[in-house]
Amino acid sequence: MAIENKSTVAYVGTDAVAEAMRQINPDVVAAYPITPQTAIVETFSTMAANGLVDTEMVNVESEHSAMSATIGASASGSRAMTCTSSQGLGLMWETLYIASGLRLPIVMPNVNRALSAPINIHCDHSDSMGARDSGWIQLFSENAQEAYDNTIQAIKIAENSNVYLPVMVLLDGFIISHAIERMELLEDNKVKDFVGEVNTPYSLLDPNNPVTVGSFDGLYGYYFEFKKQQEEAMKNSFSVIKEVGEDFGKLSGRSYEFFETEYMEDAEFGFLVLGSAAGTVRHHVKCLRENGIPAGMIKLRTYRPFPGKELVEATSHLKALAVMDRSDTFAGGMGGPVFMDLRSAYYDYDKKPLMTNYIYGLGGRDLSVELVQQATEEMQDIVRNGEVKQTVNYLGLKE
Amino acid sequence: MSTRLKDLSKKDEILKGGHRLCAGCGASIAVRQILKGLPDDVELVVSNPTGCLEVSTTIYPYTSWNCSYIHSAFENVASTLSGVESAYRSLKKQGKTDKDYRFVVFAGDGGTYDIGFQALSGALERNHRMVYVCYNNEAYMNTGIQRSGATLKGAWTTTSPHGEESYGKAENRKDLTSIVAAHDIPYVAQASISNWRDAVKKAQKAFEADGPAFINILSPCHRGWRYPMEQTVEVAKKAVETCAWPLYEVENGEYNLTGKVKEKKPVEEYLKMQGRFAHLFKKEENKEVLDSIQQYIDEKWERIKYLAGEE
Ligand SMILES: Cc1ncc(C[n+]2csc(CCOP(=O)(O)OP(=O)(O)O)c2C)c(N)n1
Ligand code: SF4
C-alpha cells in the first residue's frame, strides 16, 4: 500500500514523543522534569510557548502533583497527558492506582530508568515494572519510531469506551530517549483524525450532569466489583489494542500486535525480549541463522495486558526459551517479572520449552552481542542436554 | 452582596442533609457558611482530600454534594483541583465551554498544614484560581485524633498524649495563615464558624478574587476536643474572644482585623471548656505550660494587630 506524504526525519526519542504529543494536541499537560525524560517536557513546553498547541501547561512542583493534576484534568473531560521516569514514576505510585480506579484515559510516556539506591540515571525497567499491577496498560517500544507510534495509538486505546484505562508508553532511557534515529512522521491532520475527539467516561465540567468522583466505599462495599470491572476492561483492551494496531498500519504502513516474532516458526530455541535490547538480539539471531543455527526471537510490546496464551502458542514448539528481563523481582531466586509471568502462563500446558531467565542491563549495563552469544551457547547446551542447569542467570555482571 | 440572614437562608444548600458527619461537627457548618458566599449563577466543582468531611459526605452509592465533586487522595487536593481548573481554562480558551466556574477545596488541617502542604504551596505559586478552605479542627480526626501541625501546644491527642513525662503536644502550632499570606496571593483570611457573617463576607471576597484565595476557618470537633457536642459554636466563639484564633484578612497584601475583640479574655477560659486540655489544670507544674500558651497567643495577637496597623 502506498503511504503518501510521509516525512523522514532524524530524531532523538524524546523529540519523537514530544512531536507525537504536539500532533495529539492534548488539552492539559502537567509535568515535572527528571532525567532522562526532561527533554520531553522542555520540548513540549517550547511548543506550547510558541502556540503550536492548545495545551494548558501545568508546571507542577512534583511528579505526585503531575499525576494528580492530570487526574483532575482528565476527570474534567479533557485530554490530559504527563510523562516521567524512574523516581518520578515512583513518586506517582499512589496516584497511578487512582487514575486507573477512576477509569481515566490518561496517556503517559515513561522513559525507563533504574530506581535508587544507589542513584543511577541509566536504563532499566524496574520503574515501570513496579507499576505493572496498577491497572495501567503498558506498551514497550524498541526505538524512537515505536515510541512515537505507541504514543499516538495509546490515546485511541485509552479512550475506547470498552477500555477507559490509562496507558503507559515505555521507552528505554538514553538508549532510545537520547540516541538519534531515522524515523517517519505522520502528517498532522492524519494524526488528528486518527485520535479523534476526546472521549472520557464523565466530566466534572458538565453542568447538566454533576458527578461525584472518587467516593468513599467504606460502608456498602463495592470496591471488589470496581476492581473486577477494571480487570474486565483490561481483558477488553486485548481486542482494542489489536484493532488500533491494524488501523495504525493502514495509516502508516507500520502495523502493531502484542508482540513481534522473528524466525520463530522453525526455531529450536528462542529469546523473549522487551524494549531496545530487541535490536541487539535480532541482529544476533540473524547472524545465527546465517550460520545455520535455528534461533528465533519474540519482541514483547504489550506487557499489560499480558498476552499469555498467545505467547505460549508462539513458543511452545521450542526446545528452549530464554526470557530476558531488564529488572529483578527480588523474590529470592524466582527471576524477573516477565519470566515469572510467562512461566505462570505455561502452567496449564503440557507441551512447554525448557525455560531460563536472563537478567541483564540493570542500571544501564550494556547488552553486548558477546553477552547474547554467551546466552546462546548456554541455550544450545540446554537443547543438547535436555536440562536447565541454572534457571535464573545474571548476564554481564562484573566478576 | 448581601450577608443578611434572611437573604442567605433563601440560597440553595449545596451540601445536602443525610451526610454522616457527627452531630455537632464544625466542618459542615464551615462548608455551609463558605458556600453561602458563592455568587449566583456560577457552576461549582468541590474537592476534598481524604478526611472526615470526605468520608462522611460521599459514601458510595450516595453523595451529599449537589455539584460536581472530586476526591483523589490525602495530600494532593490542591494539585488535583489545579488540574481541574487548568482543564477549565483550556476548554474555555478553545471555546468548548462558556460557563462561569468556581473551584473550591474543603480540606482538614492535616491535609493542609502537613501532608498536603507542598501541593498547596505549588498551586498557590502557579496562581490557579481556586478557593482553598481549611476547615481547621486542629488534629487528624478521621483517623482518630492524632496531632497535626495545627494542634495547639499542650493539647492531648492520641499521638501527643500526656503522661508522667509529657504535658501533651510539646510544640507550638505553625502559623499556616501567615505562611500562605507569604505567597502573595490576592486573598487570605482567618475565620471562625462562630462569626458567620464575617465568614460569609470573607467567602464572597474569596470567590471574587482573581487568583487563588485561602480561608483558614476554625471548625471545632467535639470528639477530638472533648466538649459536649452542642457547644461547638460556643467553643469557637471563645477561641475568638481569647484571641487564640484571631479573625483577620490579607487582601492584596493589606492586613485587616475583622472580628473586633473589645476585651481580650485569658486563654484559660477557652482551654477549660475542652477535655483535651484538662490535664493542664490538674498538675501544679503545668502552670508554666499554660503561661507559655498565653504568651504564644499574646505574641501572635500583637503581631497581627501590628500588621493590621491597629494601636
Ligand atoms: C498518604 C496517606 N497517609 C495517611 C492517610 C490516613 N489518613 C486519612 S485521613 C487522615 C487525617 C485527616 O486529617 P485532617 O486532614 O485534619 O482532616 P479531618 O479528618 O480532621 O477532618 C489520615 C492521617 C491517608 N489517607 N493517606
Ligand atoms: S470526628 Fe470531629 S471532625 Fe470528624 S465528623 Fe465527628 S465532629 Fe466532625
Which of B55, B82, B88 comes nearest A216 by C-beta? Answer: B55
The amino acid occupying position A306 is F
Q: What are phi and psi of A58, to 5 degrees?
A: -115, 105
What is the reported pLDDT for A2? 45
In angstroms, the CA B86 to CA A69 distance is 8
Q: How far is B296 from chain A (nearest CA, A)?
A: 33
Which residues between 75 and 104 in chain A have a beta carbon less than 8 angstroms from any beta carbon of chain B? Answer: 75-78, 80, 94-95, 98, 102
Question: Exposure pattern of A284-315 as b/e (b: 16+ CB <10 Å)?
Answer: bbeebbeeeebbbbbbbbbbbbbbeebbbebb
Burial class from Cβ neighbours inside 10 Å (0-12, 13-18, 19+) for residue B299 reads: exposed
Please calculate the CA angle B257-B259-B262 and round it to the nearest 5 degrees.
Answer: 100
The amino acid occupying position B26 is G
Mean pLDDT of chain B: 97
pLDDT digits (tens, 9 = 90+) for A308-350: 999 999 999 999 999 999 999 999 999 999 999 999 999 999 9
Q: Which atom of ligand 2 is nearest to the CA of B24?
A: 7
Residue B69: CA count within 13 A, CB half-sphere: 24
Which residues between 105 and 144 in chain B have a beta carbon less than 8 angstroms from any beta carbon of chain A? Answer: 118-119, 121-122, 125-126
In chain B, what are the helix, strand and coil shares in percent, each to the nearest 5?
40, 20, 45
Write the CB contacts of A168 (distance below 8 Å, at least 6 apart in sequence).
A108, A109, A110, A128, A131, A136, A137, A138, A139
CA-closest residue to ligand 1 atom 24: B74
Please calculate the CA angle B46-B48-B54 and round it to the nearest 5 degrees.
Answer: 115
CB A353 within 8 A of CB A387: no
Q: Select from B25, B53, B232 the residue to mutate for testing ligand 2; criterion: most ligand atoms less than 8 Å from CB.
A: B25
Partnered with residue A110 across adjacent β-strands are: A84, A170
| Coil, strand or helix at B132 | strand
Q: How far is A38 from chain B (nearest CA, A)?
A: 19
What is the reported pLDDT for B311? 72
The cell numbers describing B156, all together, are 492531648
Beta carbons of A62 and B101 less than 8 Å apart: no
pTM score of the predicted model: 0.97
Which of B47, B76, B99 comes nearest A64 by C-beta? Answer: B76
Q: Select from B143, B158, B232 the residue to mutate for testing ligand 1; criterion: most ligand atoms less than 8 Å from CB.
A: B143
A223 vs B259, higher pLDDT: A223
What is the reported pLDDT for B188? 98
Average pLDDT over residues A237-260: 98
Beta carbons of A210 and B67 less than 8 Å apart: yes
Mean pLDDT of chain A: 97
Average pLDDT over residues B235-240: 98
CA-closest residue to ligand 1 atom 17: B108
ipTM > 0.95 for the complex: yes
Which of A65, A215, A218 comes nearest B79 by C-beta? Answer: A65
| Coil, strand or helix at B89 | helix
Is 80 exceeded by the pLDDT of residue A4?
Answer: no
Q: What are phi and psi of A169, to 5 degrees?
A: -105, 125
pLDDT digits (tens, 9 = 90+) for A31-86: 999 999 999 999 999 999 999 999 999 999 999 999 999 999 999 999 999 999 99
Residue to mutate among B81, B86, B97, B126, with most A CBs inside 10 A, is: B86
% of chain A surpassing 70 pLDDT: 98
Q: Which atom of ligand 2 is nearest to the CA of B145?
A: 1
Write the CB contacts of B153 (distance below 8 Å, at least 6 apart in sequence).
B168, B169, B170, B171, B172, B173, B289, B292, B293, B296
Size of interface A-B (CB pairs under 8 A): 168
% of chain A surpassing 90 pLDDT: 97
CA-closest residue to ligand 2 atom 3: B221
What is the reported pLDDT for B260? 80
Query: Left, alpha or beta for B18 (phi > 0: left; psi -120 to 50: alpha)?
Result: left
What is the reported pLDDT for A1? 44
Q: Does A202 touch chain B (CB under 8 A)?
A: no
Q: Does B83 touch chain A (CB under 8 A)?
A: yes
Average pLDDT over residues A13-39: 98
Regarding the beta carbon of B27 and ligand 2, being less than 6 Å apart is answered yes
Q: How far is the CA of B78 from the centre of ligand 1 (A)?
A: 15
Is 70 exceeded by the pLDDT of residue A5?
Answer: no
What is the reported pLDDT for A219? 76
Query: Left, alpha or beta for B211 (phi > 0: left; psi -120 to 50: alpha)?
Result: left
Beta carbons of B122 and A94 less than 8 Å apart: no
Regarding the beta carbon of B52 and ligand 2, being less than 6 Å apart is answered yes
% of chain B surpassing 70 pLDDT: 100
Mutual orientation of helices A277-290 and A369-385 as an angle, nearest 10°?
60
Q: Does A59 touch chain B (CB under 8 A)?
A: yes
Beta carbons of B83 and A207 less than 8 Å apart: no
Nearest listed ligand to the Cα of residue B72: 1
Q: Does A61 touch chain B (CB under 8 A)?
A: yes
Residue to mutate among B45, B59, B79, with most A CBs inside 10 A, is: B79
Q: Which atom of ligand 2 is nearest to the CA of B21?
A: 5
In angstroms, the CA B128 to CA B102 distance is 11
Q: How far is the CA of A109 from the centre of ligand 2 (A)?
A: 42
Query: Left, alpha or beta for A397 (phi > 0: left; psi -120 to 50: alpha)?
Result: beta
Q: Does B87 touch chain A (CB under 8 A)?
A: yes
Return the beta strands (E) in chain B as ranges: 43-48, 68-71, 101-108, 131-136, 162-163, 166-167, 187-192, 213-218, 248-251, 254-257
CB A99 within 8 A of CB B83: no
Beta carbons of A56 and B93 less than 8 Å apart: yes
Q: Does A222 touch chain B (CB under 8 A)?
A: yes
Is 80 exceeded by the pLDDT of residue A6?
Answer: no
Q: In chain B, what's the furthest Cα-to-Cα distance? A: 68
What residues of chain B lie within 8 A of the CB of A205, using their CB? 43, 45, 68, 84, 87-88, 91, 97, 99, 101
Q: What are phi and psi of B139, to 5 degrees?
A: -170, 170
Beta carbons of A56 and B68 less than 8 Å apart: no
Average pLDDT over residues B260-271: 94
Q: Does A51 touch chain B (CB under 8 A)?
A: no
The cell numbers describing A234, all together, are 483490561
The number of angstroms, rounded, from the C-alpha of B78 to the middle of its chain's C-alpha atoms is: 15
Ligand 1: lining residues by beta carbon, under 6 Å: B 50-53, 74-75, 108-111, 137, 140-143, 148
